[in-house]
Amino acid sequence: MTTPTLQAPADSGTERPARLRHELRAVHALVYRDLLRLAGQRTHTALMLLHPVLYLLVLGGGLAALIPSTSLGVGYQTYLFPGMLMMTVQMPAITVGMRLIADRQSGYLRELLMAPVSRSTLLLGSCVGGTLVATAQGAVLLSLAGAVGLPYDPPLLVLLLAGMILASFTVTALALALAVSLRSAETFHMVLGLVMMPLLFLSGAFFPLATMPGWARALADANPLAYGVDLLRRCIALLVPDQAAVGGIEWAGRQLPLLLEAALLLTGGAMALLWAAHRFNRPE
């Protein structure tokens, strides 16, 4: 990320390393805060994990008997797994946006803004913190891989973890971009309530995108969650070919290269973060 240095005034060359170290310490402060909160709120964290686990074991278990694995390429629970990983990382990522608004309302944000660091650094710190916390929660769900018929294969787990970091980053950045442009927590909740369900249904988490009508597929093509789910599913297919599911994001009838998909997520997240930093930097 080049954001912190972008905002730095033209210091003399000797001061730049000190300055950069200072900004990094501020990023660390915010990440530390997020990790402390994660450690302090075990009940909250467990409750956040409950939802995807229920979907995976109850909904997935129930529908697995009805949906023949021939139509999906894999058993339904295996099909559902990447979507539930995505769902797990998305919730803490969005919480970061909510906390920015809560901090603004409680006055804590002013304490952060008083710090002699650039505002972009503060936003970057929040983003890194959110990404880490989201990935940590995703890693917990990853331990259920065996329950849905995936092997506990280190390369697979590492690859899925990397995919989740990327997806978490993108969702966190988008949540922050939304949070800096909204003033009230109510509006933030309303917007999320309005878009989260459709985004999830249009992500291919529950059923293949190919089975949806054309207009819905067009919407899915613009859905960041769909790219996240598809990325995780393709990671599984890459390392466990016999568990390759059908359907997913297709441009002009062709699957995107895995790396391009990852690059799209990264770019989307970076753009959202830059825009958020731009909004956040506006003097008041």
Q: Which two tokens stand for residue 209?
A: 């995108």
What is the x/- site pattern for another protein, positions 38-77, by CB under 8 A? --xx------------------------------------
* 184 touches another protein (CB under 8 A): no
Pick the piece of the chain touching another protein (CB under 8 A) from 71-79, 114-122, 222-230, 233-241: 114-122
Q: Name the nearest CA neighbour of 189 among 93, 269, 89, 95.
A: 95
Choose which of 56, 87, 89, 112 interacts with another protein (CB under 8 A). Answer: 112
Choose which of 6, 16, 32, 198 interacts with another protein (CB under 8 A). Answer: 32
* 26 touches another protein (CB under 8 A): yes
Pick the piece of the chain touching another protein (CB under 8 A) from 14-22, 48-56, 169-177, 263-271: 14-22
Choose which of 5, 22, 57, 69 interacts with another protein (CB under 8 A). Answer: 22
User: In Å, how far are 129, 146, 280 from 121, measured between CA atoms?
Assistant: 12, 40, 11
* Angle subtended by helix axes 15-40 and 119-142, to nearest 10: 40
Nearest CB to another protein, comparing residues 41 and 187:
41
The least distance separating another protein from the CB of residue 54, rounded to whole angstroms, comes to 27
Q: Name the nearest CA neighbour of 57 among 76, 73, 42, 71.
A: 76
Choose which of 2, 17, 21, 222 interacts with another protein (CB under 8 A). Answer: 21
Pick the piece of the chain touching another protein (CB under 8 A) from 5-13, 130-138, 207-215, 243-251: 5-13
Ramachandran angles phi, psi of 254, nearest 5°: -125, 140
Range 130-149, binding another protein (CB under 8 A): none
Partners of 254 in beta bridges: 251
Ramachandran angles phi, psi of 255, nearest 5°: -65, 145
* 185 touches another protein (CB under 8 A): no
The least distance separating another protein from the CB of residue 224, rounded to whole angstroms, comes to 30
Half-sphere exposure in the Cβ direction for 127 (13 Å, CA): 31
- Which residue type, as a one-letter code, is found at position 232? L
> What does the buried/exposed string (b/e) look like for 215-238 if buried means 16 or more CB atoms within 10 Å of the residue's CB?
eebebbeebbbbbbbbbbbbbbbe
* 11 touches another protein (CB under 8 A): yes
| Cα 102 off chain centre by | 20
Nearest CB to another protein, comparing residues 41 and 211:
41
Choose which of 42, 66, 107, 254 interacts with another protein (CB under 8 A). Answer: 107
* 33 touches another protein (CB under 8 A): yes
The least distance separating another protein from the CB of residue 157, rounded to whole angstroms, comes to 31
User: In Å, how far are 15, 83, 115, 143, 180 from 278, measured between CA atoms?
Assistant: 24, 32, 18, 38, 10
* Angle, alpha carbons 46-185-268 (nearest 5°): 75
Binding site residues, another protein, CB under 8 A: 9, 11-12, 15, 21-22, 25-26, 28-30, 32-33, 36-37, 40-41, 106-108, 110-117, 283-284
